[in-house]
A and B are shown apart, each in its own frame.
Chain A
Amino acid sequence: MSAKFISIEGITRRFQAPDGGQTTVFEDIWFAIARGEFVCMIGHSGCGKTTVLNILSGLDLPDDGAAIVDGKAIEGPSLDRAVIFQSHALLPWRTVLGNVAYAISSRWPKWSRSQVEEQAKRFIEKVGLKGAEAKKPAQLSGGMKQRVGIARALSIEPKILLMDEPFSALDALTRGTLQDEVRRICLETGQTVFMITHDVDEAIYLADKIVLMTNGPEAMVAEIVENPLPKERDRNQIHRHPAFYAIRNHLIDFLVSRSKTFKSEIPADYDRRKPPVILPQNQPQPLPPSHEAGRKVA
């Protein structure tokens, strides 16, 4: 197993500021993702998460540094990296089958029509949309649209799956089911995944590793948190794991306070090229229930 299937090496991205100058969204960011790993990125709104994902997908290029996949720098979009967009981005004039088939026939232009349709139907069934093949996106609920987006991304059998807050627009119940499905499919196929999320519980349930971004502008990777939970986890049982509250509190603590203050109190041994890797350990004290109430996922 290659430890650095994806390697983000010193990427910087600047945008033109309204006043004519430049704002640096983030600078000199380093982290790596191993093959088959599920990595989540957490950070406050505007810190540049989508920009990182766009650079990984090849839709955007860094001003400095490089994103390297399998030893080659990313220079543009590739069918090896499928994107699940936050806004699902389905083509509204195509049916569910048509949307998935469009991706498949782009991936394998020589395939016959029936081959393409067979593959499309297989993945539509995989995300639980059997029977909705002939529907147009406008006839689908938000959760169903997102499922089509997932089917479209998975159907081209990409080496890397990139997801930008794929579930944030969904209700808690649908979100839970979709998380289960994505987790199952990714585990089955050993999919390498990079996913952006705002939701701490989602990150804990899905991720092997969580990248913490400090607030923008000039955001940086504060640390990389290893998920102490076993790879085999059950959404209804994980809160019983002794390390669950340790990681959960660590993440919430980061989002609530340290994401703001990290830059002013950078640890002496901090190295941008090797952000500290943290493995939250057993913590006897769960947060009081009142603190929990607002954050529970159904």
Chain B
Amino acid sequence: MRQTSLRLRAGIVSLAILLIFGLAWHLAVSGTGPAQQMDPEYAKLMGQTAVQGKSAMPGPLDVLGKIWSHLKEPFYDRGPNDKGIGIQLTYSIGRVLVGYGLAMLVALPLGFLIGMSPLMARALDPFIQIMKPVSPLAWMPLALYTIKDSSISSIFVIFICSLWPMLINTAFGVSSVRKEWLNVARTLEVGPIRRAFTVILPAAAPTIVTGMRISIGIAWLVIVAAEMLVGGTGIGYFVWNEWNNLSITNVITSILVIGLVGMILDQALARVARAVSFPE
């Protein structure tokens, strides 16, 4: 009872904040009469916004209209510089999932190895410590040089940035499995493979999934920047291209869409986290 009412009240407050923000935005960008004291050369460059005294900044209604038009036709393709936002998103999500998936394939087994072997943990620690703080974008030139393909280079950058949190959390989760659970497996003469899947994996799963959740968040942050850098396709490229077109409406629309997709990815991992968590 109390919980639903709290949720309801929070929802009302959220809605109110949204309305107030939208209204303030609308008022802030609506025209204040023709701007006369402007340099005519500059006015010519700025086009109608200068003539009508309208702010160059789009209002919330413009953005809503834009979103609607994108929703109506998300997947249109009119040449390399004019593709629907849906196509661009699909490219970005695809790259993230491929890079992230590859990182999983490496990080989970390697993390298991590090977690189970104190020797490997110590031996690999310096490399991890040095590589982890490197901005994934710093890898981009190297990737472009060696791979010579912008799309695969972005995937590589996603791979690198997703790797560390998963690797570190897997190693930590595996190394901190409670001794008594391992002893149960030992007294039952459970073999190493079965022990890995029936004791270590379930025990470490909450920590591993936390690492995976951090990774997907970072990967989604990084893909936008990577695509801005290499161009071609993807939501990051789309944002940059619309900025070059001076279509601020599209930029704002992209920001909202990027946020939305990021949230969905995070929520998906949160669901996995709930599925593997266990109360003690």
CB of A89 within 8 A of CB of B180, answer yes
CB of A77 within 8 A of CB of B279, answer no
What's the minimum C-beta distance from B210 to chain A, rounded to whole angstroms? 16
* A106: B residues at CB distance < 8 A: 188-190
CB of B199 within 8 A of CB of A79, answer no
B181 contacts partner chain A, Cβ-Cβ < 8 Å: yes
By beta carbon, the residue of chain B nearest A91 is B181
Cα A156 to Cα B184 with chains together (Å): 13
* B198: A residues at CB distance < 8 A: 102
B187 contacts partner chain A, Cβ-Cβ < 8 Å: yes
By beta carbon, the residue of chain B nearest A138 is B279
A85 contacts partner chain B, Cβ-Cβ < 8 Å: yes
Cα A287 to Cα B215 with chains together (Å): 68
CB of B186 within 8 A of CB of A92, answer no
**Contact pattern, B 185-212, Cβ under 8 Å of A = 1, otherwise 0:** 0111110000000110011000000000
By beta carbon, the residue of chain B nearest A85 is B180
Contacts across chains A and B counted by CB atoms under 8 Å:
54
Q: Interface residue tally of chain B, by bracket?
A: 10 to 19
B183 contacts partner chain A, Cβ-Cβ < 8 Å: yes
Q: Known interface pairs A77-B189, A156-B188. Does A89 touch B183 (Cβ–Cβ under 8 Å)? A: yes
CB of A57 within 8 A of CB of B184, answer no
CB of A89 within 8 A of CB of B181, answer yes
What's the minimum C-beta distance from A51 to chain B, rounded to whole angstroms? 14
Q: Known interface pairs A89-B181, A91-B199. Does A136 touch B189 (Cβ–Cβ under 8 Å)? A: no
* B183: A residues at CB distance < 8 A: 59, 83, 85, 89
**Contact pattern, A 66-80, Cβ under 8 Å of B = 1, otherwise 0:** 000000000011110
Q: Known interface pairs A59-B183, A85-B183. Does A136 touch B279 (Cβ–Cβ under 8 Å)? A: yes
CB of B184 within 8 A of CB of A91, answer yes
Cα A91 to Cα B189 with chains together (Å): 16
Cα A137 to Cα B178 with chains together (Å): 16
B278 contacts partner chain A, Cβ-Cβ < 8 Å: yes
Cα A92 to Cα B190 with chains together (Å): 18
What's the minimum C-beta distance from A66 to chain B, rounded to whole angstroms? 19
By beta carbon, the residue of chain B nearest A79 is B189
B39 contacts partner chain A, Cβ-Cβ < 8 Å: no
B280 contacts partner chain A, Cβ-Cβ < 8 Å: yes
By beta carbon, the residue of chain B nearest A80 is B189
**Secondary structure type dominating chain A contacts:** loop
CB of A93 within 8 A of CB of B180, answer no
A40-68 at interface with B (beta carbon < 8 Å) = 57-59
B63-77 at interface with A (beta carbon < 8 Å) = none
Cα A76 to Cα B187 with chains together (Å): 8
Cα A83 to Cα B184 with chains together (Å): 8
* B187: A residues at CB distance < 8 A: 57-59, 77-79, 81-83
Cα A54 to Cα B45 with chains together (Å): 85
What's the minimum C-beta distance from A154 to chain B, rounded to whole angstroms? 13
Cα A106 to Cα B186 with chains together (Å): 11
**Contact pattern, A 81-100, Cβ under 8 Å of B = 1, otherwise 0:** 11101010101110000000
CB of A93 within 8 A of CB of B278, answer yes
Q: Known interface pairs A59-B183, A89-B180, A92-B279. Does A78 touch B199 (Cβ–Cβ under 8 Å)? A: no
Cα A136 to Cα B190 with chains together (Å): 22
Cα A138 to Cα B203 with chains together (Å): 15
A220 contacts partner chain B, Cβ-Cβ < 8 Å: no
Pull 20 A–B residue pairs with CB atoms less than 8 Å apart, ordered by A. Answer: A58-B187, A59-B183, A59-B187, A77-B186, A77-B187, A77-B188, A78-B187, A83-B183, A85-B183, A85-B184, A87-B180, A89-B184, A92-B280, A102-B188, A106-B189, A106-B190, A107-B188, A136-B279, A138-B279, A156-B188
Give the 4 A-B CB pairs with smallest separation, nearest first: A138-B279, A106-B188, A89-B180, A93-B278
Beyond known contacts A91-B184, A136-B278: 14 more, CB 8 A cutoff: A58-B187, A77-B186, A77-B188, A79-B188, A81-B187, A89-B183, A91-B181, A92-B279, A93-B276, A93-B278, A102-B188, A103-B188, A138-B279, A138-B280
